[in-house]
Structure 1
């Protein structure tokens, strides 16, 4: 596949030169359990009801790797013999149910009092010797919010809903290189659950996926972030012939 703008190495070069085939690894960290039924009203209020149901998945890394091979980093598209196509905001809205045309997601990445922030929005904070920690371990989130008491208060349910959403955001929708922790940078946006859907989460998800598609075209890269469930489901939905050979 010819370069459009620059001559940076592309993974397709190795394939064309009969080099070793690379199968990417994913930076995903699924929750592994369905949300408590009592959380569903809060997840729906926040606009994450559909996305929150992605609690487990079976990713086809051979398919994802093949898609990356056919993606020039300059266009974020996939080139096939039948034409050119790409994941769009419409796909994000249809498959994940996330808002795509609301306010952009912005914020800060460092906090003066992260412990106070966690206590106010999650009702708890991990034991950490560092006063300026920025990440919550996924195991901590599961251990503290995976099982709710039968008499949980409304405040506790709202905290659990925020924990579930932030796990979905950083573990499935927009995972980064630190795949054993979830950054708290998005936590302030979840303070008012009724206002969460006023942000374009779908736009942010697609942006991160595009960035990862560009990064993983480099032959030396072996792992991929971004919403791989979206990429795979898009491919199987838009290109029906793949579904017939995916088993």
Structure 2
């Protein structure tokens, strides 16, 4: 029993990053604070999504993401999991062994595709021109900086669908709402105020967005954020954290949601 309570890995030659790991500070009594979760779900509660927009979202793999808007995160559970995440293995080290979130979990829990086209492309765009083309509105100088678009501007321009909206306008609203889902839930920005427009080109043709393996990029982003958050100086964590929480409820008895 005494050996099991010794801090650090049993085989330091395998887990080589212990010196920089969050658990080191915890063992030494230096760190007991919870991480700040960069999931800005409250940011778009004011966004009115019409039935026409929801109908198009329903036909895509993003419908479940749409449904979890407003889902409350358990910060303590997420922090506890991060303390057990090892960047060397991309697994959680717990008393019964190792475990991790897999592509299969992403598909089952979120309904996102794990096979298909790679979510990739060029960033050589005139981003303002692209916003005008695909969203039908012109952002001001204070609303767009490089590939970053202010969330407040997007919410103001797309708060409600006009009653006489044609198909082109409807598609602009769908793109805007998908950007909001990506910025606030799937790939939240550190600031919480901006949307990264790198995904906008992939939303040009709404009939092809289901061809992409969004589940793969979501999981890769979560892994990267877990690795960063497990470092000594980290105080926050991003990524699709609701996936991590649902996975923990499904796979680990301790911390499971009841009722």
Q: Give your verdict on TM over 0.5.
A: yes
Match of 1:214 in 2: 227
Match of 2:88 in 1: 74
Superposed CA RMSD in Å reads 2.0
Q: Does 1:22 align with 2:64?
A: no
Shift of 1:151: 2.3
Match of 1:40 in 2: 54
Of 4, 9, 16, the residue aligned with 1:6 is 16
Change (3 A) 1:110 1:147: same
Of 92, 99, 104, the residue aligned with 2:106 is 92
Q: Note if contact 1:98-1:202 (Cα within 8 Å) is conserved in structure 2.
A: yes
Change (3 A) 1:130 1:62: closer
Q: Deviations over 1:85-135 (max 9, x none)?
A: 111111111122111111111122342x22221111111131116986311
Of 188, 203, 208, the residue aligned with 1:175 is 188
Of 109, 118, 123, the residue aligned with 2:123 is 109
- Alignment partners' CA distance in 2, 1:222 and 1:135: 23
Extract unaligned runs of 5+ from structure 1. Answer: none
Q: Note if contact 2:48-2:160 (Cα within 8 Å) is conserved in structure 1.
A: no
Q: Note if contact 2:148-2:194 (Cα within 8 Å) is conserved in structure 1.
A: yes
- Alignment partners' CA distance in 2, 1:109 and 1:41: 30
Q: Deviations over 1:205-233 (max 9, x none)?
A: 00000001111111211011111111111
Q: 1:136 aligns to what SS in structure 2?
A: strand
Q: Note if contact 2:148-2:196 (Cα within 8 Å) is conserved in structure 1.
A: yes
- Alignment partners' CA distance in 2, 1:90 and 1:204: 13
Change (3 A) 1:193 1:98: same
Q: Note if contact 2:64-2:110 (Cα within 8 Å) is conserved in structure 1.
A: yes
Change (3 A) 1:179 1:15: same
Q: 2:195 aligns to what SS in structure 1?
A: strand
Q: Deviations over 1:130-174 (max 9, x none)?
A: 986311111112111122222222211111111111111122112
- Alignment partners' CA distance in 2, 1:125 and 1:28: 27
Extract unaligned runs of 5+ from structure 2. Answer: 1-7
Q: Note if contact 2:151-2:195 (Cα within 8 Å) is conserved in structure 1.
A: yes
- Structure number, greater radius of gyration: 2
With normalisation by structure 2, the TM-score equals 0.87
Q: Note if contact 1:34-1:53 (Cα within 8 Å) is conserved in structure 2.
A: no
With normalisation by structure 1, the TM-score equals 0.91
Q: Does 1:126 align with 2:136?
A: no
